[in-house]
Amino acid sequence: MENVGIVGIGWYGFSTNVHDLSFREMMFEAAQRAFYDAGGMNPREQIDAFISCQEDFWEGISISDEFAPDPVGGSMRPTMTVAGDGLQGLAHGFMLINSGVADVVVVESHAKPSDILTFPEIVELAMDPVYVREAKIPNYHFIAGLDATKFMHRTGVTREDLAEVVIKNRASGLKTGRAPHASMLSKEDVLSQEMIVYPLTRVDVARPVDGAIVVVLASETFARKFNDTPIWITGIGFSTDNSNLELAKLGDAFYLRKASELAFGMAKLESPLKVNGMFVDDRYSYKELQHVEALGVNNVAEKLREGYFHEGSYLPVNPKGGHLAKGYPLEASGLSLVLDAVEYMREGVSSAVVASWRGIPTFTGGVAVLQR
């Protein structure tokens, strides 16, 4: 079984509106950067397979996978799509290499939410038409509200704790070049905001963002041909709790508990506390804490209050700002966390965990363990 490394990564966008380029052009731009990062590789000759992660309703085009190959160099080459988050696509790329089917694989995902003029209605189309959509609840964030209330009741996490997550992540984003929602906020700024959906205010909720990300994976045999210091994916897994809101566990990210069991087992990672950083989906402030807990960290509220998750402390969580600062690029959200983790590790640390979620109304997430 071949080890799998990240040998190149590129991105484009991370703006609330990339007005000048279409999603296909954004894919091309991100791909160019990833191939340059992978030692200036030639995608037409040196890549065995291409994977694009996308969902038709986001694209506004049905059977949009037909448009996947050419913007990333995959015209007339083996290409597959994953109708899911980019981290699920990364897992598929990992499997192609690990099983010996391919040596070099490109994984791509992108988002152009600024093109979607009826965003909430598209989100609602993902809900069960009879039991959930038919209820006509006037704000789709209500699912996060139900989940957050139960989570906070179970764990003792308070509104002040959520404010701390918002302040930490939005400030951390100020150090990066791709965080349009980064800002310096005080506790009073956050706590004085009006509730949108209890217990969440506007600043607790991340916004969608335009962006494209391309990752180049290679087997251990080929990795150093493209990059002297590959970042190894030592464990990866993804899981769905339940397709039905009513049957899924509220207040607990069960999908990430299952995914992390798979990933940590594969990586032989005894404890999540042994990594240098965590990059978890925080598209709602409470989700950061819920996801960290699901990765196996106990007493998240106490640890947050002690400063445990802040940069420079024991276990930095989202030290590049997470989705609260960057926005969430729809199906590219997981890859955006991978991108943060890769940049963070290239600054000198040796390990990170990435944990993605596919967003409302899903109960699907993925976990990857990265090591150098």
Distance from C-alpha of 9 to C-alpha of 179, rounded to nearest angstrom = 18
Q: One-letter amino acid identity for 33?
A: R
Contact segment (CB under 8 A) with other proteins among 40-48, 193-201, 253-261, 273-281 equals: 193-201
Minimum CB–partner distance for residue 217 and other proteins (Å): 22
How many CB atoms within 10 Å of residue 236?
A: 26
**Binding track, positions 6-45, relative to other proteins; x by CB under 8 A:** -------------xxx------xx--xx------------
Does position 147 interact with other proteins (CB under 8 A)? The reply is yes
Does position 207 interact with other proteins (CB under 8 A)? The reply is no
Distance from C-alpha of 180 to C-alpha of 175, rounded to nearest angstrom = 11
Does position 138 interact with other proteins (CB under 8 A)? The reply is yes
For other proteins, give the closer residue by CB, 129 or 348.
Answer: 129
Does position 60 interact with other proteins (CB under 8 A)? The reply is yes
The crossing angle, in degrees rounded to 10, of helices 333-346 and 86-98 is 70
Does position 83 interact with other proteins (CB under 8 A)? The reply is no
Contacting other proteins (CB under 8 A), which of 2, 3, 95, 142? 142
Size of the site for other proteins (CB under 8 A): 42
Does position 247 interact with other proteins (CB under 8 A)? The reply is yes
Contacting other proteins (CB under 8 A), which of 95, 126, 146, 185? 146
Minimum CB–partner distance for residue 314 and other proteins (Å): 31
For other proteins, give the closer residue by CB, 22 or 229.
Answer: 22
Contacting other proteins (CB under 8 A), which of 39, 78, 180, 251? 251
Contact segment (CB under 8 A) with other proteins among 38-46, 95-103, 209-217, 241-249 equals: 241-249
For other proteins, give the closer residue by CB, 139 or 192.
Answer: 139
For other proteins, give the closer residue by CB, 122 or 273.
Answer: 122
Does position 194 interact with other proteins (CB under 8 A)? The reply is yes
* Contact yes or no for 57/184 (Cβ under 8 A): no
Contacting other proteins (CB under 8 A), which of 44, 66, 83, 134? 134
Q: One-letter amino acid identity for 4?
A: V
How many CB atoms within 10 Å of residue 48?
A: 17
Residues in touch with other proteins (CB under 8 A): 19-21, 28-29, 32-33, 60, 120-121, 125, 129-132, 134-135, 137-140, 142, 145-150, 153, 194-199, 242, 244-247, 250-251
